[in-house]
Structure 1
Amino acid sequence: MAEGNQSTVTEFILAGLTNKPELQLPLFLLFLGIYLLTELGNLGMVILISISSHLHTPMYFFLSSLSFIDLCYSTVIIPKMLVNFVTEMNIISYPECMTQLYCFLVFVISECYMLSAMAYDRYVAICNPLRYNITMSYQVCLWMIGGVYCIGLIEATLHTVCMLRVLFCKANVVNHFFCDLLPLLQLACSSTFVNEVVLLCLSSFNFCVPMLTILSSYSFIIARIIRIKSTESRFKAFSTCSSHFTSVAVFFGSFGFMYFQPSSVSSEDQGKVSSVFYTTVVPMLNPLIYSLRNRDVKVALNKLLRKKTFHM
């Protein structure tokens, strides 16, 4: 297309999940409920862990960081998504779209590596319990969490810079409920080769490295658990592993389905469904899967409620 025939896009229209009017209100109420539960659960976990001294251990330090990530990236996505259910056209400006894309990428990439850090923490706790306090010291945990966020920031910056160089012409309807990489690239009227190479390389890296870390950690954990003689201890350890692995399977399964389908067989509607899982459902489930089923968290919550009731 000749340069003179191009009109620069200054705003996008988010198509949303559905264009059926009869589904708008039910979906609005559903995702409003999901958002409130997500914020309440994750914010509650961050506060509870920060004020309960016996939860100041590496395991809960990572849980608190995971809750913070879920809290942030659900806030980046869901409020704008809810607007789409109550307006005829959900318009987002170009700068807002790029900002949403950047923030989403920072937190979703950070979540990949936070899940692998948590798997490593469990590996050390179960397989090397005598060296746990040394291996997972406060300084080491800080470095690990700092590394997680650095990876998220660097890769999100790389993706966003590549997206900023893409030219958008007259097509401005994003067939998605937020500004994501693939739906935006479909609207481009300039070459997206660099973007696609960067996306393929970083997505493969972000999928393979955390998954290999998680699978390796749990291979050693399962081998160790099998040698435990106490049935109660074995069941407790397996329960912890299954909870973590359930969340990992949902997150990485939907992530992989979205970004690794060949374009010839991919469905935009299927992509939306998989995106719903890792942007809205997983952040809501994580407090339940990781924390609210945990005995120490329940004890801390009961103590906090009793103390509040006593003061009242």
Structure 2
Amino acid sequence: MPPSSNLAEQVVLITGASTGIGAALAQVLAQQYPGIRLVLAARNLEKLDAVATLCHKSGAETLTVATDLTQLDQVQTLAKVALERFGQVDALVNNAGYGQMGVLELVPPEAARRQFEVNVLGPLTLIQSLIPAMRDRGGGKIINISSIGGRTAFPFGGLYSASKFALEALSDTLRMELQPFNIQVSVIEPGPVSTNFFEVVRQEITKMFPNPETTPYYAAFQKMEALEKQTSANAWTSERVAGVIIKALNTRRPQPRYVAATGGRFLLFFLTKVLSTKTVDRFWQRFYGLDLVAEEWKRSHQ
């Protein structure tokens, strides 16, 4: 039996559903589509169960599965448990992810590995695990949550952007490969979002660079502390991003990409189509304080 076009009759699997965009998406879906069945996955089962309780009160049927995306056996088990419980997964929202920030020279290999495990390899494994069931059922939707950083790279975010560039490349390929089976693939590209993203970034930077003053990039590290304030004015709520995801879920022929950021399309157009590479480089270098690093370096070597 092919998937119903009515979301209220579908099974939607959401990763990273314990907080932020994932939790907001689950709750908005439950409120707008009573009867929807939600599979909620994240590492923290206690937080997942709290989200599931709210969804259940709104009329959704829920299944929570504690899942660490770095453990591929857990990812495969997530798909298996979801299919055993509901017999189908009509839509997958690969939302789980985080930003490993830091200058590339200083990021240790284990941190780089974990960034790609969570943001790329885990989602790919989950997709691979669900494709056969979607194909047998006659179709489905896969929505991968990327970022504006998946279209343009910037200082301190090299690993994060690299992982999101990779996720977008996988999404483009999957969109073409799965089209014959009526499995549609879309990417959502949020800009700044009012979540704990920057708090996680601060924790990762503090853990990885406990003594930034000993590095040649100290001036940029100092400026990093003010970046959250600079971007917060245009930050979207998680619920607003969830609305864009629901639009993609509800559309018969979803777009390959949805930008979920104020002025995002305009920004990407200028950064990727209008401005020269050198101009874009200078913009990001000033934004992230690398011009200050250059000045400090010149002073110390005169």
For the criterion TM > 0.5, the same-fold answer is no
TM-score (norm 2): 0.24
Instruction: Please say which structure displays the higher CA radius of gyration.
Output: 1
Q: Which has the larger share of helix?
A: 1
- Give the TM-score taking structure 1 as reference length: 0.23
Per chain length, whose mean CA-contact separation is higher, i.e. which structure has more relative contact order (CA < 8 Å, sep 6+)?
1
